[in-house]
Amino acid sequence: MIYELRLKEELRRKIEDILSRESREKALNDHHSRRKPRPCGFTIHTGIGCSLQCTYCYIGDMGFSWSIREYPLNGVELVYALLNNPYFVPGENGSLIAIGSVTEPFHGVTRTRTLEYIESISKYLGNPIQFSTKMYLTRKDALFLRKTDPGISPLITIVTIKYAERLEPYAPPPSKRFKTIKNLREAGLKPILFLRPIIPGLIEDEYIELIDQAVDHGAHGLVAGSLRITRSIIERFKSKRLPVREILERAPCIPKGREQVSIDTGDLKREIARYAMRKGLLFFPEACMANLYTHGRICWKMIKLGLRVLGDKPPVLNKNEVFKIGQYLGLTVDRIRDRGSYVDIWVKPVDRVNTTLFSELVKCRFKKCVRIHK
């Protein structure tokens, strides 16, 4: 048996023994037991909906509410849901965990749940955890996080100073978030400035100030990401007299209904990256790299990009092992092409569940992105 899957089965049995039947059923019926990994890892929801109502946020268009409630699973139930997820790989070299999508994990309503999930994942699974937040984290919070997962990857979202009141009316002001960076750094963590979304028309005048302040407060690095728009986001920008011309000029099309359209900000991202690196920050083109970095690990893409960070060098792709993983999962691996930062693998049959697990196993074991072909 593949050792990652043996570990998963052992852990699953262990957790099964400490949960009631009702709790087990609750976990098995939960979406975390079925969710596929995203490029940033497994997204964990510690709440449902979000009351911060950021003007650029698309969760309303995804059907989530602008009010927030705590996620119904407790920490151990969440762990059990993940151990029953067919795609999840447990362990410190396992699937990456990302907390903070579609809700604010440190909102007053969700923060206890978030801390509980971080504790349970660290205690039972050991997977690398990352979170993103706009809330203020005190020194005490930072010390607790450090004690629970010394490698935890904190992404502190700050996308504007000047327009914060119009863009993030219910979030703590950027000054408090810079203070969060300071508190995390002083507790021995590696806080990262999360500049997502990059808003064209606004960011050009602000990124220098954002990066300078992040450096002054102790940020280790920067992750930047693009804006996605929907019709309602554009309407909200207009109603708050925020400029939309630059956004629309970069949009490949005008979104219809609840459709999300990505705005091309590649040039701005490069400009931001250049300045961040000049100021001594590490620039991570993808959030998952920051998660690996704070946990002392490196992937092949980071090496290819010349990201000079300390960490365990990833193992060289062993094709025999890849063939064996495929065979164990009932897949025939026809061809493997190691492209350096990623690997192309041709498999048959393309069974959705096993192929996704196969891809996740190869990615976790060799720290290399995987592209599956028929």
Q: Which stretches of the chain bind ligand SF4, using CB under 6 A? A: 50, 52-54, 57, 59, 102-104, 134
What is the smallest separation between the CB atom of 335 and ligand SF4, expressed in angstroms?
Answer: 41
- How far apart, in whole angstroms, are the C-alpha atoms of residue 255 and residue 252? 9
CB of 256 to ligand SF4, least distance (A): 21
Cβ density class 244-265: b for 16+ within 10 Å, e for less: bebbeebbeeebeeeeebebeb
Q: Which is nearer to ligand SF4, 90 or 100 (CB)?
A: 100
Q: What is the rounded radius of gyration, in angstroms, for the C-alpha atoms of the chain?
A: 21
Q: Minimal distance in Å, beta carbon 235 to ligand SF4?
A: 16
- Closer residue to ligand SF4 (CB): 236 or 368: 236
Q: Which class for 150: exposed (0-12), middle (13-18), buried (19 or more C-beta within 10 A)?
A: middle
Minimum distance between the CB of residue 233 and ligand SF4, rounded to whole angstroms? Answer: 11
Nearer to ligand SF4, 105 or 326 (CB): 105
For β-strands 282-284 and 261-262, DSSP reports them as unpaired
Tell me the pairing of strands 261-262 and 221-224.
unpaired
For ligand SF4, the closer of residues 127 and 133 by Cβ is: 133
Distance from C-alpha of 219 to C-alpha of 6, rounded to nearest angstrom: 38
| Shortest spacing between CB 26 and ligand SF4, in angstroms | 24
Residue 370 neighbours by CB under 8 Å, 6+ apart: 342, 343, 345, 359, 362, 363
**CB of 228 or CB of 365, closer to ligand SF4:** 228
Sign of CA dihedral 17, 30, 48, 41: positive
DSSP-based three-state secondary structure for 13:
helix
Q: Evaluate whether 360 touches 37 at the Cβ level (below 8 Å).
A: yes
Q: How far is the CB of 145 from ligand SF4 (least distance, A)?
A: 19
How far apart are the C-alpha atoms of 218 and 154, rounded to whole Å?
Answer: 12
> Min. distance of Cβ 223 from ligand SF4 in angstroms?
15
- Pick between residue 54 and residue 203 the one whose CB is nearest to ligand SF4: 54
Least distance from ligand SF4 to the Cβ atom of residue 58, Å: 8
CA angle, corner 44, sides to 41 and 45, nearest 5? 145
Instruction: Select 57 or 288, whichever has its Cβ closest to ligand SF4.
Output: 57
The length of the chain in residues reads: 374
Nearer to ligand SF4 by C-beta: 60 or 296?
A: 60
